[in-house]
């Protein structure tokens, strides 16, 4: 775990080779921890990633009256019968995923007060769809004193159509609807593997959910749920980061702990760039023997190319042979990352939600700053193709999403040093 002043010193030139195993998904474990609020008793989550956001979420849950113990890759959450409805402001505002307690608290307590959350600087992520969905279920919602408030006497099933397949809105509506009276049909729902993981955990708690993994979820409310034990799905974004690390550094990495179907399109893009891909039941291998070819990318909700892997796509484009166009369709401020790539000598031009990259054989070392989790990881990968030593600052962002990042890089043959100032 890092202090906010930590930095990485990344020596360029390494070709990453070897094997790495990913643990549970950051984008799933925090939502599963929030879902534990739905059942009195002790819920156990295994295969949890050892990242900063897990203890952050522990603080949120403890502020609501839970007892939480973290032991290695297992988290034990004991939820009381008398749950508090006001999430602690200081704990919640540290990271975006904390808003996932909104649905469970509304369902369990009939009231939820959750501070408008902080997190990564990748653009506006309003809660409009979260609020609209809860209102369709019979809650009254409003913003007051920097918090979103939801209140209801009884949630009732409804037909809800999302304007956009928002992951967060799908999660909050789903976790509220499981205890609502009647049937909820959620159309244009998010289809991400992390949504399927949440559905599977809820079903093991006694929820009645049909359609997980499709764009229509049918939820039949039940009176109560029971605590459970659940294994967190593997982190496809961390796995994808290692896949692109192999291609960017012209290396050879085998990644375990993730079904390759969760990364179908990102791996197909690497094939187009010239990588040799082998897939297994619960992993894959990426080998890039020469300079990658330029490939175009556009981010879209699953099963499209993940916005969380966009910095890695830009890193690949920066050193590829030819011109690439990367289009960001999810978060409007994610191209802040490009400013830091320019410091590394990348040939990039931003035009609205497109960036045009002309690849270079090698980048040049400098000092860069992480603005979010994925941008930080992307900068480290790009720095591996720079001459000399690149200083990457604000790496606490990276520690929020990547367990043992420096240790894994060095085990694969990189030379990366963490410096505590």
Same domain? For 241 and 299 the reply is: yes
Q: Closest by alpha carbon to 374, among 296, 310, 305?
A: 310
Q: Which of 200, 230, 260 is the last residue of a domain?
A: 230
Q: Which of 206, 230, 254 is the last residue of a domain?
A: 230
Q: Which range of residues forms the domain containing residue 37?
A: 28-230
The reply to whether 86 belongs to the active site is no
Same domain? For 399 and 257 the reply is: yes
pLDDT, position 119: 44
265 sits in the region (left: phi over 0; alpha: psi -120 to 50; else beta) called alpha
Strand 74-79 vs strand 140-144: parallel, antiparallel, or unpaired?
unpaired
DSSP string over 317-357: HHHSBSEEEEE--S-TTTTHHHHHHHHTT-EEEEETTEEEE
Per-residue pLDDT tens digits for 5-37: 899 999 999 999 999 999 999 999 999 999 999
Cβ proximity of 192 and 212 under 8 Å: no
Per-residue pLDDT tens digits for 81-139: 999 999 876 766 666 667 899 999 999 999 999 987 654 443 444 688 999 999 999 99
Q: Which of 215, 230, 245 is the last residue of a domain?
A: 230
Per-residue pLDDT tens digits for 37-86: 999 999 999 999 999 889 989 999 999 999 999 999 999 999 999 999 99
Please indicate if the annotation marks 350 as binding a ligand: no
Residue 19 lies in a domain: no
User: What SS3 class is residue 316?
Assistant: helix
Please indicate if the annotation marks 96 as binding a ligand: yes
Same domain? For 372 and 354 the reply is: yes
Rounded CA separation 255/241 (Å) = 10
Please indicate if the annotation marks 26 as binding a ligand: yes
**In the 8-state DSSP scheme, what is residue 12?**
T
Relative orientation angle of helices 102-109 and 167-177, to the nearest 10 degrees: 20
The CATH number of residue 284's host domain is 3.65.10.10
In whole angstroms, how large is the CA radius of gyration of the chain? Answer: 21
In the structure encoding, which two tokens stand for residue 295, read together?
A: 């490939």
Please indicate if the annotation marks 84 as binding a ligand: no
Same domain? For 283 and 414 the reply is: yes
Same domain? For 191 and 251 the reply is: no
Same domain? For 216 and 308 the reply is: no
Same domain? For 247 and 179 the reply is: no
| Cβ neighbourhood burial of 295 (10 Å; 0-12, 13-18, 19+) | buried
Same domain? For 166 and 262 the reply is: no
Cβ proximity of 340 and 382 under 8 Å: no
pLDDT, position 124: 43
Per-residue pLDDT tens digits for 153-168: 999 999 999 999 999 9
Rounded CA separation 362/319 (Å) = 6
pLDDT, position 128: 87
Residue 284, Cα to own-chain centre: how many angstroms?
20
Residue 398's pLDDT band, with cuts at 50, 70 and 90, is: very high
- Selected catalytic residue, list 120, 252, 372, 394: 120
Determine what percent of the chain is predicted with pLDDT higher than 90: 86
Average pLDDT, the chain: 93
Per the structure, the count of domains in the chain is 2
pLDDT value at 1 more than 50:
no
Rounded CA separation 77/70 (Å) = 9
pTM higher than 0.85, yes or no? yes
Same domain? For 214 and 136 the reply is: yes
């Amino acid at each position: 775990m890092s202090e906010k002043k930590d930095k990485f010193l990344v020596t360029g030139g390494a070709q990453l080779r070897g094997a790495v195993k990913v643990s549970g998904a950051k984008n799933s474990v925090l939502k599963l921890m929030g879902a534990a609020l739905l059942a009195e008793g002790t819920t156990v989550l295994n295969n949890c990633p050892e990242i900063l956001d897990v203890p952050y979420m522990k603080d949120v849950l403890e502020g609501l009256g839970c007892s939480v113990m973290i032991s290695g890759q297992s988290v034990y959450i004991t939820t009381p019968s008398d749950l508090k409805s006001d999430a602690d402001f200081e704990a919640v505002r540290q990271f975006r995923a904390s808003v996932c307690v909104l649905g469970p608290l509304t369902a369990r307590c009939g009231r939820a007060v959750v501070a408008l959350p902080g997190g990564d600087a990748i653009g506006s992520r309003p809660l409009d769809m979260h609020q609209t969905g809860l209102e369709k279920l019979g809650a009254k919602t409003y913003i007051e004193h920097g918090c979103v408030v939801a209140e209801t006497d009884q949630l009732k099933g409804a037909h809800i159509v999302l304007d956009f397949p928002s992951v967060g809105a799908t999660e909050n509506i789903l976790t509220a609807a499981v205890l609502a009276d009647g049937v909820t049909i959620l159309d244009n729902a998010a289809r991400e593997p992390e949504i399927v993981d949440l559905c599977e955990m809820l079903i093991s708690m006694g929820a009645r959910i049909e359609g997980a993994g499709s764009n229509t979820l049918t939820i039949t409310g039940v009176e109560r749920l029971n605590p459970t034990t659940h294994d967190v799905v593997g982190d496809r974004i961390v796995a994808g980061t290692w896949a692109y690390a192999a291609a960017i550094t012209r290396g050879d990495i085998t990644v375990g702990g993730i079904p390759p179907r969760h990364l179908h399109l990102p791996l197909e893009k690497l094939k187009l760039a010239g990588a040799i891909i082998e897939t297994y039941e619960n992993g894959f291998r990426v080998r890039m023997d020469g300079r990658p070819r330029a490939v175009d990318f556009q981010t879209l909700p699953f099963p499209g190319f993940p916005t969380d892997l966009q910095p890695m796509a830009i890193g690949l484009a920066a050193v590829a042979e030819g011109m690439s166009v990367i289009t960001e369709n999810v978060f409007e401020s994610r191209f802040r990352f490009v400013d830091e790539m320019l410091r590394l000598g990348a040939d990039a031009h931003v035009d609205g939600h497109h960036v045009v990259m002309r690849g270079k054989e090698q980048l040049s070392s400098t000092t860069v700053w992480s603005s979010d989790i994925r941008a930080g990881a992307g900068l480290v990968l790009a720095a591996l193709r720079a001459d000399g030593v690149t200083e990457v600052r604000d790496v606490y962002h990276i520690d929020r999403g990547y367990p043992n990042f420096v240790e894994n890089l060095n085990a694969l043959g990189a030379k990366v040093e963490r410096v505590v100032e």
